[in-house]
Structure 1
Amino acid sequence: MDFLSGLSAWHWLILGIVLLILEMLGAAGFLLGIGVGAILTAVIAAVLSDMSWQAQLLCFAVLSIAATCLYWMRFRHINEATDQPLLNSAEARLLGKEAVLLDDMSALKGKVQIADTLWEVSAAENYPAGTKVKVLAVHGMSLQVEAQS
């Protein structure tokens, strides 16, 4: 407990800088609020030089929570913005693709090849081999298709 009674603004400033450096190494925003809370606690501890260690810890906790909540409410959407929303969704990228039936459909089932993958397809009616089809929906490893004219 002797260490805690000796807490000063410098301790909080060093902690805040270390946390922000760790954040820059890739913590994805998790250490940002805590680092900002530590730096703000350093400023308050410097202004109010006679703050007890209990008050400093309470101030740090409140400011860290407030900074984290502010970050998640205001700035989280910036990390989620993308110019390629379908990048990690193979199913969504298949929608609208066109392919040619490899053989005659039977029982409303057939096969197509898209890129390097052979897909089972289903349709509302049977189509002959060589029919150009368009993907309407993805159901697991099966594609719902319709004939293109």
Structure 2
Amino acid sequence: MFDNLVVELGPWSWWLAGLVLLAAELILPGFFLVWIGLAGIIVGALSLVFWDSAFWIWQVQGLVFAATAVIVTLLGRRYLYGSNQATDEPFLNQRSASLVGRTATLDQPITEGRGRIRLNDTYWTVKGPDLPVGTRVKVVASSGRDLTVEPA
């Protein structure tokens, strides 16, 4: 049945496959089938040109489709994810990294390299040299939820 459909549609079978993949992208999440569907449409366009040529057999079409899918996927990902635009809030989702450079007073002493400070409305675990309660410290680095401090 599928063989008959490809024979009847001829070069338009690649167009149909590409459009089906693009439609599947609307149903399935991930934004990946777009590139494969685009590759199908490109091979469909090439099939319109080369359909009657002796070299344009189904094996060559499959190889061209595979290569085109890889190329279009790589180019599409570079286009979408390659632009690291500057932002006015570079630490928006990195709260601990946004605290680097701030100063605070120790709420708990730093003993054996660990203590606590309060910045805004949150208590943070800090690492640094042993210091008594009430010492002003400056945040010099962040690692996950831990902040590294030194005396201010």
TM-score by length of 1: 0.69
Residue from 113, 136, 139 that aligns with 2:140: 136
CA distance in 1, matches of 2:148, 2:47: 65
Q: Offset of 1:135 from its aligned partner?
A: 0.7
Give unmatched runs, 5+ long, in structure 2.
none
What amino acid is aligned across from residue 50 of structure 2 in structure 1? L
Please say if residues 110 and 122 of structure 1, whose CA atoms lie closer than 8 Å, have aligned partners that are also in contact: yes
Residue from 18, 22, 30 that aligns with 1:27: 30
Call closer, same or farther: CA 1:95–1:38 in 2, change over 3 Å: same
Q: Offset of 1:24 from its aligned partner?
A: 6.2
2:13 corresponding residue in structure 1: 11
2:126 pairs with 1:121: yes
2:95 pairs with 1:94: no
Please say if residues 96 and 145 of structure 2, whose CA atoms lie closer than 8 Å, have aligned partners that are also in contact: no
CA distance in 1, matches of 2:79, 2:133: 55
Call closer, same or farther: CA 1:82–1:36 in 2, change over 3 Å: farther
Report how many residues are paired.
145
Identical counterparts, % of pairs: 31
Give unmatched runs, 5+ long, in structure 1.
none
TM-score by length of 2: 0.68
Please say if residues 8 and 42 of structure 1, whose CA atoms lie closer than 8 Å, have aligned partners that are also in contact: no
Runs (4 or more) in structure 1 with deviation over 6 Å come to none
